[in-house]
Structure 1
């Protein structure tokens, strides 16, 4: 069944880490889901936006779904957030959570991971949380999903500083720790953090009713140092990125020797999916072929004579 009208219109309108030098946890506002309110006819954790907040923006009147509820089945404290795929008259809708006091401009975002957001200036190494999942994964859209995005507005343009994403596909009948490393694209500090959870893959169109995801104890942890040489990072380019074919080209037009080092590509959970040895110093391009890998986020780590360069790659 197709996604409900509101979600469709909103959507249309819409690795390797740098050196870790600390391990301190950084609190996520209401990351233990202890504080709740009633909004748009349903439960809503304070400082988080929900499925019903999204649906409330529709010009079509849609009844509260109950896709996000307060649950006493928690990891610690008194409550957890329960996200459920709900079958409504308009179609199946997943449970969504977006960190933030508002959704922002939902009709101007590139993806759901851009929604919401709160001020944030640290450079954490990873997002961690506890989850349980009950249900069947019979298609890609059934995969419960978690993502984190750090952004900064530079010269009026919103720039992604770091990102991480994970599909929670392993059985989890008891609370299980999830760990999402952040891949940094920029050396400066962010000004906002966006965290998204879904009981289904929000980039797909169909959802298995009844799939349920519990989320609790969300934290950001570790500290990543700033890029030592921003000019080096800028000297290496990757295109197309995202890639619909899974094939990328790496260039360094002004200094071909930067491409001579070895490189590896890892997937979202840190597994090496591609490894290339050093190339001749006269090489002016490097090709990365991930066409046999599933769609998702990958991390490129290239050794250069002036230090490492890292890039996030996205396969559509």
Structure 2
């Protein structure tokens, strides 16, 4: 039973397919609106694990309820609670999706993206996550922008347990200059029913105007030393002072922001200090918001 449930969900969700339509906003990102579907209360504008199983014919009365409404919210009155349901062979991971369901002529079922034509810079949301292991990522977020089934931008990030509501601020990685026509978002809380993910205030922010994030004047910006043993880095752009001195943010591997700085004076273009001393060793993402578009670089602390 467990294998059957899990294989159905994976087949339905990965990959998210494209559906070209007119643009739309991120409906009900604050989870304030709920409706009854398939015998349970579900968030308006979002698909759940129960929706997917009902669509492929599972009896409604047998579907575990892995997504629910709670009043423990970051903003407003409600938030979404994701918790895997059941145990053993009948365990069902909890999925929350921004998309819609389609049947093909071959009777295949797939989740397609919702119409969307923007080029957002970041995905932001507030979350709490409890787990039996506080040091292991036990939930994940996947986002994909597409143009006629071709990938335009993606996010694939794990979430670490947090006891209080924490802001996740995750940059989109653009791999194409095409204009998106659809978007899919997937939150997953799985592995055991001890993992409980609370979500609230999901939104897309900023705009990427360059052909792709991280490609603006790539040779003009220097980052050194990289990797860094101390956690200190220097940024320099001798041919274009506006690059190294632009406002910046740095996020860790989970998408949590660890540093934000405003614009630096022009004199710092020859060597602007970025101080990450005190941060753990690992990979970090530097994002400079320049007038020509964002520059994204990977920083490594040894």
Alpha-carbon distance in structure 1 between the residues aligned to 2:88 and 2:50: 15
Within-5 A mapping of 1:141-290: 143-153=138-148, 158-169=149-160, 171-200=161-190, 207-227=191-211, 269=255
Alpha-carbon distance in structure 1 between the residues aligned to 2:208 and 2:85: 39
CA contact (8 A) 1:42 1:64 kept: no
Change (3 A) 1:139 1:40: farther
Does residue 134 in structure 1 map to residue 130 in structure 2? yes
Change (3 A) 1:78 1:268: closer
CA contact (8 A) 1:49 1:97 kept: yes
CA contact (8 A) 1:127 1:182 kept: yes
Change (3 A) 1:116 1:98: farther
CA contact (8 A) 1:164 1:268 kept: no
Which of 107, 120, 125 pairs up with 2:121? Answer: 125
Alpha-carbon distance in structure 1 between the residues aligned to 2:176 and 2:296: 9
Per-residue Cα deviation, 1:156-208 (whole angstroms, up to 9, x for no partner): xx111001121111x311110001110001112101111111112xxxxxx21
Task: Let me know the Cα RMSD of the aligned residues.
Answer: 4.0
1:132 Cα deviation from its structure 2 partner? 0.4
Which residue of the partner structure matches residue 221 of structure 2?
none
Which residue of the partner structure matches residue 251 of structure 1?
none
CA contact (8 A) 1:127 1:219 kept: yes
Matched position secondary structure for 2:207:
strand
Matched position secondary structure for 2:31:
coil
Which residue of the partner structure matches residue 72 of structure 1?
71
CA contact (8 A) 1:33 1:81 kept: yes
1:7 Cα deviation from its structure 2 partner? 2.8
Q: Return the TM-score normalized by structure 1.
A: 0.59
Alpha-carbon distance in structure 2 between the residues aligned to 1:104 and 1:209: 29
1:135 Cα deviation from its structure 2 partner? 1.8
Alpha-carbon distance in structure 2 between the residues aligned to 1:218 and 1:270: 15
1:310 Cα deviation from its structure 2 partner? 8.9
Per-residue Cα deviation, 1:238-294 (whole angstroms, up to 9, x for no partner): xxxxxxxxxxxxxxxxxxxxxxxxxxxx967499xxxxxxxxxxxxxxxxxxxxxx9
Change (3 A) 1:84 1:34: same
Q: Any stretches of 5+ residues in structure 1 without a counterpart?
A: 15-25, 110-114, 201-206, 229-265, 272-293, 300-307, 312-316
Which residue of the partner structure matches residue 46 of structure 1?
44
Alpha-carbon distance in structure 2 between the residues aligned to 1:27 and 1:70: 22
Higher relative contact order (CA 8 A, sep 6+): 1
Matched position secondary structure for 1:7:
helix
1:309 Cα deviation from its structure 2 partner? 11
Structure 1 runs, 4 residues or longer, greater than 4 Å off? 105-109, 266-271, 308-311
CA contact (8 A) 1:43 1:66 kept: no
Matched position secondary structure for 2:200:
strand
